[in-house]
Amino acid sequence: MIAAQYFVKVLGDALKFPFFYIYSYEGVAWWLVIVILLSIFASWLPARSATQISVQQSLAYE
């Protein structure tokens, strides 16, 4: 979060436009929920398809 405040200040100074950095706990909570859900779906689909393959088939693939 410290880097974000610094980045916003540098960006605002470069563009000659004042940006206001407001830390939102609700935004962090939504971000966390979205990241957790995406992680679950991204790992669940390959794991589910991997359980459908027998060990013999997976070893014969290579």
What is the value of pTM for the model shown?
0.52
Instruction: Name the DSSP class of 16.
Output: T
pLDDT at 31: 95
Tell me the C-alpha distance between 52 and 47, whole Å.
9
Q: How confident is the model at residue 62 (pLDDT cuts 50, 70, 90)?
A: low
pLDDT at 9: 84
CA 26 to chain centre: 16
pLDDT at 53: 84
Q: Is the pLDDT of residue 56 over 70?
A: yes
Q: Domain residue spans in the chain? A: 24-62
Task: For residue range 5-40, list pLDDT tens digits in order.
Answer: 788 888 888 988 887 767 789 989 999 999 999 999
Q: How many CB atoms lie within 10 A of CB 9?
A: 13
